[in-house]
Amino acid sequence: MAAKGKVKKTFLSGLGADNPIFAQVLGICSTLAVTNVLKNTVVMVMGLIFVTSLSNFTISLLRNYIPSRIRMMVETLIIAAYVIIVDIVLKAYVPDISRQLGPYVGLIITNCIIMGRAEAFALSNPVGLSVADGLSAGMGYGYVLIIIAFFRELLGSGSIWGLRVLGSWWTNWFIMVMAPGAFFMLAIFIWVVRGLITEREKEEVKS
Amino acid sequence: MNPSVYPVAIFFAAIFTNNILLTNYLGMCSFLSVSREIKTSLGLGAAVIFVMAVTSALNWIVYEYILIPLDLTYLRYIVFIIVIAAFVQIVEMIIERVSETLYAALGIFLPLITVNCAILGASLFMVIRQYNFLSSFMYGFGSGIGWSIAILAMAGIRQKLKNAKIPRGLEGAGITLIITGMMALAFIGFTGMIKIS
Amino acid sequence: MKFKSKQTERMYTVLFMAIVTVVFIAVTSGIYLYTRDKIITNKTLFIKKAVLFAANIDVGDSAKDIEETYKKSIKEIRDADGKLKYMEVYAGGNGKLTGYAVIVTGPGLWGEIEAVLGFDRDLKKMTGIDFIKQNETPGLGARISEKWFREQFRDRMGPFKLVPEGTAKGGNEIDAITGASITSNAVLDIVNRTISNVREIVK
């Protein structure tokens, strides 16, 4: 029972207090680029969750055998192998989306979150916990990106999932589709979340 | 376009119109964490320029002469990252033996570089855009300079912000992202200056 | 892990790395080989579909449909070295030549744009355009692949000129894509250039 509780706690922490994006501001590099189209974001996020959980799984499984001197190399290799699998699968089964994501799938390799979770968690924790941690980090990261993508596509193209939802009266904010829009959106998101969290903590202290 | 000016155009485009950080979001992690001080930004910037230029060229050679003939292009992610990691390791060893001062200035930044997505990104973009050898080198070199300009400018702005009063929740990452957005906005002004292809 | 000597530790390190590398490369290669045919078919299907769209021939989404229609209505003309020169279009299904299609490339914002352009039998009108390869920005320049943009070129003849999105009134006016002027211009350059020299390609 205790172990189960721990898995749950590990899983929830990545979604909330330890969220890789708004708490640690990690790994926003590559994946931010695809957030101007919701559909691409969802595919990318699924790839990322797949890679974080499986690489955490593998590294945790091997954690007692990896020589410490080359552990970074081994981690990178394992992550890269999973990313290649994602890339090949996308190419074979959803070629249209794979074409649009272009090099960004490959850049999942250097996403600091995956490496960070491998280093900080999988190397020193049992398999089950590590998978929970990987899933949670990936999903915590994913839902933030999906929220950002939702607003960027809505404001930038007047559509959601490629379907036009705002009428012809809406003039698209093209800046939202371009790079600055991503930076502004993310900053606003972090602002709102951190503002709320600090607000709540203050109240808790008072009561 | 005249083929001989082509690599030059790519070089300038990589710095201004297609800045790898401001239009492709690559290298954000180290950008956010290191841009607090001008001095460290300068060190990391120099290391990035050097590594990016050389690894782009190296990866081009590996891709063109090893991966394509053997039909192993699908392994390029692994191979590129190994080339980058190995190169960084070798450079670290060399400068550690050759110059104490250089090692003190650059050495500490080298391990940070292997996980900088911009380096791998440059190699991947060069493959997708089918650059030739010279163009790849110029692209890597230009992207490194572009990234360094961005981080230096950011460090300058952040030093001025040190004593500024910032709305709660926006301190640190939030305000840095907003400034980055504004910089990206400013760099859009360069669009059309150079036509890359 | 504890080792008897430095030598064995080094041996272990090298061996470990080698085994991990071999295992993972074997796994990824296996998956690659398993899906390779599918990836290649996807690619050729995509090109065939683009050619049919440019030739204004309706076709469904199923692979079989595309293959059959392509075989029936497109004839590839190659030069002595086997390089594709242009394609003849037999749209009516009665073996009569109805038009031509050519594949051309030109510079875009991020990389090469490869397009297929269809023309009628007299090379007086375009039957359509489609894009085989483009690396333009998703959400902006990549919108050239949207149907409304491609449809604009049907049954019209250039040289075309760009007007702001939503204001084209026919004639030689083409709606540009807002926020992607460079890509729009790049496409227009490719189209206008091809129009001016299509008679030399199709000979």
The complex's ipTM works out to: 0.85
Average pLDDT, chain A: 83
Q: Of C29, C135, C182, which is closest to B195 when you measure between CB atoms? A: C182
Look up the domain containing B181 and give its range.
Answer: 6-188
Q: What is the pLDDT of residue B2?
A: 40
- Asked, for residue B194, whether it belongs to a domain, the answer is no
pLDDT value at A67 more than 90: no
Query: Which of B74, B128, B195 comes nearest C135 by C-beta?
Result: B128
Q: Parse chain A into domains and list their residue ranges.
A: 20-206
All residues of chain A having their beta carbon less than 8 Å from the beta carbon of residue C8 are none
Query: B14 to chain C: nearest residue by CA?
Result: C110
Contact B128 A83 (CB under 8 A): no
> Does residue C3 surpass a pLDDT of 70?
no
Interface contact A110-B120, CB threshold 8 A: yes
Token digits of residue B19 = 């800045």
* DSSP one-letter string for B88-122: HHHHHHHHHHH-HHHHHHHGGGHHHHHT-HHHHHH
Interface size between B and C, measured as CB pairs under 8 A = 32
What is the pLDDT confidence band of residue A114, given thresholds at 50, 70 and 90?
confident
Q: At residue A173, does pLDDT exceed 90?
A: no
Residue C179: which pLDDT band, with cuts at 50, 70 and 90?
confident
- CA nearest C131: which of B161, A4, A100, A177? A100
Instruction: Give the model confidence (pLDDT) of A80-95 as tens digits.
Output: 999 999 999 998 988 8
pLDDT for B197 equals 42
| Sign of the alpha-carbon dihedral angle for B56, B58, B63, B64 | positive
pLDDT band at A154 (very low <50, low <70, confident <90, very high): very high
Q: In this prediction, what percent of chain A has a pLDDT beyond 90? A: 25
Query: Is a pLDDT exceeding 70 seen at residue A6?
Result: yes
- Rounded mean pLDDT of C174-189? 86
C29, C135, C181 member nearest B129 (Cβ): C135
Distance CA C190, CA C107 (A): 8
> How does DSSP assign A159-170, residue by residue?
EETTEE-S-TTP
For residue B185, the chain A residues in CB contact (below 8 A) are: 175, 180
**Looking at beta carbons, which residues of chain B come within 8 Å of C28?**
74-75, 78
Sorted by where each begins, the domain ranges of chain C are 45-201
Beta bridge partners of B67: none
Pure H helices in chain C: 6-54, 63-73, 147-151, 181-201
Q: How far apart are CA C150 and CA B58, in angstroms?
A: 40
**Average of per-residue pLDDT across C68-96:** 86
* pLDDT tens, position by position, C151-161: 899 888 878 88
CB A63: neighbour CB atoms within 10 A?
A: 17
Residue recorded with tokens 């489609």: C130
Q: How does residue A202 score in pLDDT terms, banded at 50, 70 and 90?
A: low
Q: Which residues of A touch C13 (CB under 8 A)?
A: 67, 69-70
- Distance in angstroms (rounded) separating the CA atoms of residues C187 and C190: 5
d(CA C137, CA B188): 14
* Chains touching C by CB (3 or more pairs below 8 Å): A, B
Cβ-contact A39, A161 below 8 angstroms: yes
Q: How confident is the model at residue B3 (pLDDT cuts 50, 70, 90)?
A: very low
Say how far apart CA C184 and CA C62 lie, in whole Å: 31
The single-letter code of the amino acid at A126 is: P
Q: Report d(CA B122, CA B145) in Å as an integer.
A: 12
User: What is the pLDDT of chain C when averaged over all its residues?
Assistant: 86
Residue C109 to residue B192, Cβ atoms within 8 A: no
pLDDT, position A1 = 44
In a domain, B60, yes or no: yes
Instruction: Report how many domains make up chain B.
Output: 1
- Taking the CA of residue C96 and the nearest CA in chain B, the distance in Å comes to 39
Q: What is the pLDDT of residue B154?
A: 93
Q: What per-residue confidence (pLDDT) applies to A205?
A: 60
Q: Can you say whether residue C106 is alpha, beta or left, with left for phi > 0 and alpha for psi between -120 and 50 degrees? A: beta
Banded pLDDT at B182 (limits 50, 70, 90): very high
Q: Does residue C4 register a pLDDT over 60? A: yes
pLDDT band at residue C119 using 50, 70 and 90 as cut-offs: very high
Given CB atoms, is A73 within the 8 Å cutoff of chain C?
yes
Does the beta-carbon distance from A174 to C13 stay under 8 Å? Answer: no
What φ, ψ does residue B56 adopt, rounded to 5°? -60, -45
Tens-place pLDDT, residues B112-145: 777 678 898 899 888 888 888 998 999 999 999 9
Phi-psi group of B195: left, alpha or beta (phi > 0 → left; psi -120 to 50 → alpha; rest → beta): beta
Least Cα distance to C137 among B187, A154, B24 occurs for B24
CA–CA–CA angle A107, B7, C190 (5° rounding): 85
DSSP per residue, C48-62: HHHHHHHTT----SS
pLDDT at B195: 55
Q: What is the mean pLDDT of residues A152-156?
A: 90
- Residues on chain C bordering chain A, Cβ-to-Cβ distance under 8 angstroms: 1, 9, 12-13, 16-17, 20-21, 24-25, 27-28, 31-32, 35, 38-39, 42-43, 46, 135, 137-140, 142, 178-179
pLDDT at B155 over 60: yes
Q: Which of A1-5, A56-60, A88-92 is the least confident region? A: A1-5
Q: Would you say C100 and C94 are in contact if contact means Cβ atoms under 8 Å apart?
A: no
Identify the top-confidence range among A55-59, B108-112, C13-17, C122-126: A55-59
* pLDDT value for C101: 92
Cβ contact, residue pair A190, B174, below 8 Å: yes
What CA–CA distance (Å, rounded) separates B170 from C4? Answer: 54
When CB atoms are compared, the residue of C25, C29, C107 closest to B197 is C107
Q: Is the pLDDT of residue A105 over 50?
A: yes
Q: Contact at 8 Å (CB) between A95 and A87?
A: no
| pLDDT of B86 strictly over 90 | no
User: Measured between CB atoms, which of B25, B124, B184 is closest to A33?
Assistant: B25
Are B197 and C112 in contact (CB < 8 Å)? yes
For residue A126, with 0-12 CB atoms within 10 Å meaning exposed, 13-18 middle and 19 or more buried, which class applies?
middle
CB C40 within 8 A of CB C33: no
More confident residue, C47 or A99: C47
Average pLDDT score over residue span C3-13? 80
Residue B100 to residues A19, C32, C35, C83: CA-CA distances in angstroms? Answer: 40, 47, 51, 58
> What pLDDT is stored for residue A149 in this prediction?
92
Interface with A, mutate which of B22, B23, B28 (most A CBs under 10 A): B28
Predicted local confidence at residue A54, as pLDDT: 94
pLDDT value at position B5? 55
Q: H or E element: which one contains C99?
A: strand C99-107
CB contact, 8 Å: C108 with chain B? yes
* Alpha helices (H) in C104-180, listed in sequence order: 147-151
Residue B118 counted as domain residue: yes
Q: How far apart are the C-alpha atoms of A55 and B50, rounded to whole Å?
A: 31
User: Closest-CA residue in chain C for B129?
Assistant: C111
Judged against a pLDDT cut of 90, whether residue B169 lies above it is answered with: no
More confident residue, C145 or A17: C145
Higher-confidence residue of B85 and C4: namely B85
pLDDT, tens only, C51-61: 999 999 888 87
C19/chain B closest Cα distance in angstroms: 15
Distance from the Cα of C203 to chain A's closest Cα (Å) equals 34
